[in-house]
Amino acid sequence: MAQQVAGGPSIRAALAFGLILFVISASRAEEAPGRVAAPPLSAACDVPAIDIAAPASLPNVAMSLQKRGTVRILAIGSSSTSGVGASSSGKTYPAQLEAILEHALKGVDIEIVNRGVPGEVAEITAERLKSEVALVKPDLVLWQLGTNDALARIAPEDFEATVRSALRWLKENGTDVVLVGPQYAPRFARDPNYFAIRDSLQRIAVAENILYVRRYDAMQFIAQAHANLQLMSRDNFHLNDLGYQCMAEHVAHAVIVSLFVKGAWPAGN
């Protein structure tokens, strides 16, 4: 079940509208002929659309699809991106996401470059974003963040300033961004700093019109609906193969629905 969103009435109203639009668009995507529908979620990873994301514009990805039929993606962040806990490199979330997107977007060449660094906080990621973007030249950056900042007790206002500055630089340089939020684990369920960082990301996404994957809410729903499923590895902190599969499915769903809402994929493809 999704957590109550902190913030003023305007933020809550904007998120509510976006989530309603996400549900409607996902339904229409399945029905509209000639359109690319969001790939179905597996039984283990199935969650309500409102617990995944609200759609947001991805103009540079849309342009790449229409002009070249190729999309280059930079996946950056910490251990959830690098794949700590996965049984192989092919089971990381970026690797699984690449396969899902190529299957859903027929004829499109998807290349995902994994630049995850375990233990990294947002400030360090933001510092190396410029060099990574210069090397990879991505159409889209998937930035997984928040967990380590919360555990390191980074002040939410400092975290927010860091993320906003990096997002604006990426926009100025013609790169779309998807923020992938912190994970859910019962040990963090009553940590006020953890919620403060998560709520900061929600505010940033609304203010900057950025696609934000609500990983905490999706994982919490699975934990409550399927008590027998385990998304964590033995250390009960990093994800296992199933956890990375669900993460990949949810990010893919959010990206494809956002492209469909904005009409990025022309009929007949």
Return the pLDDT at 187.
85
Q: What burial class does residue 138 get, using C-beta atoms within 10 Å of its C-beta: 0-12 exposed, 13-18 middle, 19+ buried?
A: buried
The helix (run of H) or strand (run of E) holding residue 212 is strand 211-213
What is the average pLDDT across 165-172?
A: 96
36: pLDDT strictly greater than 90:
no
Say if residue 11's pLDDT is above 50: no
CA distance 116 to 102: 21
pLDDT at 3 over 70: no
pLDDT on residue 5: 40
Residue whose structure tokens are 């995944």: 52
Q: Given this model, what pLDDT does residue 261 score?
A: 66
Pairing assessment for the beta strands 109-116 and 211-213 based on DSSP bridges: unpaired
User: Tens of pLDDT along 71-102?
Assistant: 999 999 999 999 999 999 999 999 999 999 99
Q: How confident is the model at residue 186 (pLDDT cuts 50, 70, 90)?
A: confident
Mean of the per-residue pLDDT values of the chain: 86
pLDDT of residue 60: 93
pLDDT confidence bin for 267, thresholds 50/70/90: very low
The fold of the 42-261 domain, in CATH, is Rossmann fold (3.40.50)
pLDDT surpasses 80 at 13: no
- Provide the token pair at 255: 């990206």
pLDDT confidence band for 1 (50 / 70 / 90): very low
Least confident piece of the model among 59-68, 133-142, 171-180, 239-248: 59-68
Residue-wise pLDDT tens digits, 100-124: 999 999 889 999 999 999 999 999 9
Residue 134: C-alpha distances to residues 78, 127, 139 (Å): 20, 13, 12
For residue 34, pLDDT beyond 90: no
The band of 30, judged by pLDDT with boundaries at 50, 70 and 90, is very low
Domain boundaries, the chain: 42-261
pLDDT one-digit tens code per residue, 237-265: 999 999 999 999 999 999 999 997 644 44
Count Cβ neighbours within 10 Å for each residue of 155-184 and write b for 16 or more, e otherwise.
Answer: ebeebbebbbebbeebbeeebbbbbbbbbb
pTM: 0.85
Query: Average pLDDT in the 24-45 region?
Result: 62
Radius of gyration of the chain measured on its C-alpha atoms: 17
Rounded mean pLDDT, 166-174: 95
User: Which of 250, 183, 245 shows the shortest CA–CA distance to 219?
Assistant: 183
Q: Report d(CA 54, CA 51) in Å as an integer.
A: 9
